[in-house]
């Protein structure tokens, strides 16, 4: 066994390092005041996790296609009627090209966000709680990445949701933050319940089709063989339902339509939380789930179309709302929802690895945009774009970082977003001949290219360009961030500029096409994995770049050099602006449904409580009270009355014994 394979055996240490940080910070708390209230402890352990994660990823690049599954049996059930070969639950780690790529994403972004937090969060209270929960979140996300079976995946998936609740509601004394945390928790739980139902269906179907799958602990690497053993069309309805339930779970976590309302409101949490959770990790977990489902579990054709439809519609749905918002963090949040739609679209079209490629690039430049926005907020203490302006003169590093992220998001070559976004568009276009039903969603994704470059450069021009700020005195105290904030932005800026071109490195490219680089790849499902990266059609790429440049020019014409575009006087334009600002009234609709539904359920529960439960209790009470009152009248205290009762009872007994009983016996015997 060589060094790299031996290193894969210790993959458990990657999530263990931040877990130790959680224990140390949670135990010592304020006693770590000299270490930035535990911040440097979190940075050190996140750094150790990143180093080990990168070494494991390098091992996968040097030996592409290796699959190292290290697990132990949690508990097992002997063979029975339901499980002819037994049933086992395992806990373990699976190191493969996909998880290796995610280790790069999660550990790198986790480390730079931890370091950035030292400068950004130093004025806040409750920092031990912040660093402890952030470390626990990093542990949970790495557990999702390394899980080798569906149940373990779900356990860490839920821990991610719990941590996000605490981090979004970090400023719990602020009503809007507490409300956003509850909304995020409830909406994602809706998807998680359906996800769990999908797991149960997969368990029941695959365990029956391939008993060794249940006996081995529902390992991902055995799932595809169970799928193939079903045969064509067998249990297709149940499999379709299971796939749709997995899509619901992914839509909840990745904020896809119609479960997207929680993510923009989640910006009530610290900006560092947005950079880690809502750019590179938690929301990416939904896409990662779909990739795992596509590669190891299998989706039916109906599932694929549903995934394409949800992803394609979400791209333009979220991008349109980003065009009117004035909160710099919410603009980036809607951008996250839209870009996640691209990834979901790619997975549904059969290009799981292409979607994973965009997940990797988007994590870098979207985390960069959030950190740059946080640097602005840290300097001017406002999130309102219409109060900013002219900040580039005093915040050159931050302006450069935001501009690099904006170019990458817009898909301008050679920035990272160009390679992955155009890869998705080209791959999907190649499917239109055999799947003409994908046309509407392809056009939505193409139109989103223009909207994306427009809204992100609108934000850039409003914040950084112009002669001065629009709020008097706002720019007077603006200053560049300290080094602990600048260094993470510079690292991610480099990734936003050249990170997409890493795919030309043969070893790195092997992480995206493992099926073609190793015969040991366990997946035998038909996959649309391109032979090389990037798979970009030059003509389509030209159209995409022209749309992106056009969006930048329109943004400059309306908002550049300190200009403020007046809202058109026409009723349709104002109505459309209001519709977008109100988020298509979906948030209000959800609030109304929740309030009406809760009120209806509460009234029904009140009726049952008052008239069914309490009514039954009161009915018994009144019945026995009445009988008691009647019985009390018999108790006269007169001995002669009691003697009369005894004599009457004896007479009745004799009548029953002498006359009634013989009559009943004769009747029964004769019948």
pLDDT tens digits, residue range 189-203? 889 999 999 988 888
For residues 390 and 387, give the distance between their C-alpha atoms in angstroms, rounded to a whole number.
Answer: 10
Predicted confidence at residue 80, as pLDDT, reads 67
Predicted confidence at residue 565, as pLDDT, reads 74
**22-73 per-position pLDDT tens digit:** 999 988 877 877 777 888 899 999 999 999 999 988 888 877 667 777 877 7
Predicted confidence at residue 64, as pLDDT, reads 60
**379-430 per-position pLDDT tens digit:** 888 888 888 888 888 888 999 999 999 999 999 988 998 988 988 998 888 8
CB 167 within 8 Å of CB 282: no
Residue 206 clears pLDDT 90, i.e. is over it: no
Percent share of the chain, pLDDT over 70: 87
Helix, strand, coil share of the chain (percent; to 5)? 75, 5, 20
Handedness of CA 91, 95, 97, 99 (dihedral sign): positive
CB 583 within 8 Å of CB 321: yes
For residues 391 and 36, give the distance between their C-alpha atoms in angstroms, rounded to a whole number.
Answer: 29
Report residue 363 CA to chain centroid gap: 14
Instruction: Please tell me which of 147-151, 348-352, 444-448 the model is most confident about, judged by mean pLDDT.
Output: 444-448
- Other Cβ atoms less than 10 A from the Cβ of 403: the count is 18
CB 270 within 8 Å of CB 130: yes
Phi, psi of 430, rounded to the nearest 5 degrees: -65, -15
First to last CA, the chain: 88
Enumerate the β-bridge partners of residue 327: 384
Predicted confidence at residue 520, as pLDDT, reads 45
Predicted confidence at residue 2, as pLDDT, reads 67
Instruction: Assign 85 a pLDDT band (cuts: 50, 70, 90).
Output: low
CB 156 within 8 Å of CB 144: yes
Residue 457 clears pLDDT 80, i.e. is over it: yes
Predicted confidence at residue 44, as pLDDT, reads 93
Residue 522 clears pLDDT 60, i.e. is over it: no
Which residue did the predictor score with more confidence, 74 or 273? 273
**277-304 per-position pLDDT tens digit:** 876 678 888 999 998 888 777 788 889 8
Instruction: Assign 525 a pLDDT band (cuts: 50, 70, 90).
Output: very low
For residues 298 and 293, give the distance between their C-alpha atoms in angstroms, rounded to a whole number.
Answer: 6
Please tell me the least confidently modeled range out of 123-137, 239-253, 417-431, 580-594: 580-594
Predicted confidence at residue 448, as pLDDT, reads 94
Q: How does DSSP classify residue 635?
A: -
Enumerate the β-bridge partners of residue 88: 76
- Other Cβ atoms less than 10 A from the Cβ of 24: the count is 18
Predicted confidence at residue 531, as pLDDT, reads 45
CB 97 within 8 Å of CB 64: yes
| Mean residue pLDDT across the chain | 82
Percent share of the chain, pLDDT over 90: 30
For residues 380 and 368, give the distance between their C-alpha atoms in angstroms, rounded to a whole number.
Answer: 18
Closest of 578, 584, 558 to residue 324, by C-alpha: 578
């Amino acid at each position: 066994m060589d060094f790299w394979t031996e290193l894969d055996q210790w993959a458990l240490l990657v999530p263990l390092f931040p877990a130790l940080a959680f224990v140390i910070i949670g135990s010592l708390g304020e006693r770590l005041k000299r270490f930035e209230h535990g911040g440097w402890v979190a940075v050190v352990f996140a750094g150790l996790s990143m180093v080990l994660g990168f070494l494991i990823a390098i091992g996968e690049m040097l030996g592409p296609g290796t699959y190292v599954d290290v697990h132990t049996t949690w508990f097992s059930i002997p063979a029975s009627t339901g499980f002819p070969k037994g049933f086992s639950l395992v806990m373990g780690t699976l190191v493969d090209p996909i998880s290796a790529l995610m280790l790069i994403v999660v550990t790198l972004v986790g480390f730079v966000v931890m370091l950035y937090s030292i400068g950004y969060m130093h004025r806040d209270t409750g920092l031990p709680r912040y660093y402890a929960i952030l470390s626990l979140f990093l542990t949970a996300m790495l557990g999702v990445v390394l899980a080798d079976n569906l149940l373990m995946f779900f356990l860490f998936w839920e821990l991610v949701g719990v941590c996000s609740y605490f981090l979004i509601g970090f400023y719990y004394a602020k009503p809007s933050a507490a409300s956003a945390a509850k909304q995020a928790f409830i909406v994602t739980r809706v998807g998680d319940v359906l996800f769990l139902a999908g797991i149960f269906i997969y368990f029941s179907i695959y365990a029956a089709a391939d008993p060794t799958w249940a006996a081995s602990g529902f390992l991902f690497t055995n799932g595809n063989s169970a799928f193939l053993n079903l045969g064509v069309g067998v249990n297709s309805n149940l499999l379709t339902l299971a796939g749709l339930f997995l899509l619901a779970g992914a839509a909840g976590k990745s904020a896809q339509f119609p479960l997207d309302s929680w993510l923009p409101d989640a910006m009530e949490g610290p900006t560092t939380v947005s950079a880690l959770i809502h750019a590179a990790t938690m929301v990416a977990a939904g896409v990662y789930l779909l990739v795992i489902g596509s590669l190891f579990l299998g989706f039916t054709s109906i599932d694929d179309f549903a995934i394409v439809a949800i992803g394609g519609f979400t791209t333009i749905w979220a991008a349109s709302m980003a065009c009117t918002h004035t909160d710099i963090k919410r603009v980036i949040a809607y951008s996250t929802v839209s870009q996640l739609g691209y990834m979901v679209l790619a997975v549904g079209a059969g290009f799981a690895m292409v979607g994973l490629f965009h997940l990797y690039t988007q994590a870098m430049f979207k985390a960069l945009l959030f950190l740059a926005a946080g640097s602005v907020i840290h300097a001017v203490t406002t999130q309102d774009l219409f109060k900013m302006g002219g900040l580039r003169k005093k915040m050159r590093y931050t302006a450069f970082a935001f501009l690099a992220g904006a170019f990458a998001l817009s898909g301008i070559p050679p920035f990272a977003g160009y390679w992955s976004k155009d890869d998705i568009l080209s791959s999907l276009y190649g499917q239109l001949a055999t799947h003409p039903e994908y046309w509407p969603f392809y056009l939505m994704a193409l139109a989103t290219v223009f909207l994306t470059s427009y809204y992100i450069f609108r934000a850039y021009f409003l914040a950084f360009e112009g002669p001065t700020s629009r709020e008097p005195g706002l720019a007077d105290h603006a200053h560049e961030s300290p080094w602990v904030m600048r260094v993470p932005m510079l690292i991610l800026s480099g990734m936003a500029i050249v990170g997409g071109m890493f795919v030309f490195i043969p070893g790195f490219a092997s992480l995206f096409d493992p099926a073609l680089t190793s015969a040991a790849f366990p997946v035998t499902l038909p996959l649309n994995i391109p032979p090389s990266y990037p798979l970009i059609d030059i003509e389509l790429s030209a159209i995409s770049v022209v749309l992106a440049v056009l969006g930048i020019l329109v943004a400059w014409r309306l908002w550049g050099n300190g200009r403020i575009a007046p809202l058109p006087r026409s009723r349709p334009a104002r109505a459309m602006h209001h519709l977008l600002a109100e988020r298509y009234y979906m948030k209000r609709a959800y609030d109304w449904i929740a309030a009406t539904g809760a009120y209806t359920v509460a009234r029904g529960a009140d009726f049952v409580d008052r008239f069914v439960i309490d009514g039954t209790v009161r009915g018994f009470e009144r019945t026995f009270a009445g009988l008691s009152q009647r019985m009390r009248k018999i108790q006269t205290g007169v001995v002669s009355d009691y003697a009369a009762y005894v004599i009457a009872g004896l007479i009745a007994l004799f009548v029953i014994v002498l006359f009634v009983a013989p009559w009943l016996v004769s009747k029964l015997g004769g019948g």
